[in-house]
Amino acid sequence: MDSLIAPFLNGTADGALLLIAALGLALTFGQMGVINMAHGEFLLAGAVCAFWTQQVVASTDVSILVALPVAFVVAGLLGLVLEATILQWMYDRPLDTLLATVGVSLALQQIFLQNYPSGVPVEKPSLLDGQIDVLGYAWPLRQVFTIVLAVACLAALGALLKYSSFGRRIRATVQNRALAETLGVATRSVDRMTFFIGSGLAGIGGVAASLIGGTNSQMGTRYIILAFLVVVAGGLGQLRGTVIAAWTVGVVTAYLADWTTGSLAQVITFVLVVVFLQVRPNGLFTVRTRGLA
């Protein structure tokens, strides 16, 4: 029983982490068409924030709660800087945003590697130190926390997009930039805000990541690729698709890791997602429209 339950729960937590990373990416890529390869390194920035706040705030329980908004703002600001210095010149060249942010991602990785060659040693909060018993498996509370965090991010983002005037402005800008401008939407500030929120989510994901597993300079690369595949597999601009895809990837990888080895599981998951995209190139959920010539 344990061998079936444990991967499911661990995988769900991993999927939740992936979801947080993918949500931010879905916003910047799905809504804005910008491919930010440095998104994964914003996760690292979030992990570093978790580490910093622990240096300032002694209580590990309090520090993690402080770290969440701090990481959101720090990663968000990183995103803003990136948008203002590089991306805003390339909105009509999506592949070039990819290349330029690859450069940014290389640099950020190297900065991380030089400062924290063996990752950031984030102490686990004592409150989250326990386990809860699920059908005989002692499920670490840290994983439950990640899931709660992911659900919260999802709910907040969904509500923001659906109900707030800011969400309406984002959608208007995405659908018809020129029209939105003539209707008085300041599309530039919408762009910046979107980027801030999307990148900030990566920061929150980084805090969660620092609790669950080790951090290293390569973490960003792994997450960006998986998150991107999740966004695409879920269907662009479809939050529910992103959720299902992230969860599936998390759980499947966990089972595969249980049956084979960790690195082989990664490889098989990659291959499975690629195969899935062969079958459904537009992802789980799509809106069919007239073909664009």
CA angle 155–159–164, rounded 5-degree value = 155
CB of 29 vs other proteins, minimal distance in Å? 8
The token duo for 165 is 């005037």
CB of 228 vs other proteins, minimal distance in Å? 5
Q: Which H/E stretch holds residue 158?
A: helix 141-163
CB of 203 vs other proteins, minimal distance in Å? 21
Which CB sits closer to other proteins, 58 or 292?
Answer: 292
Which CB sits closer to other proteins, 5 or 86?
Answer: 86
**Contact at 8 Å (CB) between 222 and 18?**
no
**Contact at 8 Å (CB) between 124 and 64?**
no
Q: What is the DSSP letter of 237?
A: T
CB of 225 vs other proteins, minimal distance in Å? 5
Which CB sits closer to other proteins, 131 or 286?
Answer: 286
Binding site for other proteins (CB under 8 A): 29, 35, 86, 89-90, 92-96, 98-100, 102-104, 106-107, 109-110, 114, 221-222, 225, 228-229, 232, 261-264, 266-267, 270-271, 273-274, 277-278, 281, 287-291, 293
Question: Rounded distance, CA 209 to CA 146, Å?
Answer: 8
Which CB sits closer to other proteins, 55 or 290?
Answer: 290
CB of 48 vs other proteins, minimal distance in Å? 18
Q: CA separation (Å) from 123 to 202, 206, 207, 212?
A: 20, 14, 11, 11
Which CB sits closer to other proteins, 59 or 175?
Answer: 175
Q: CA separation (Å) from 241 to 34, 92, 250, 281?
A: 19, 26, 14, 13
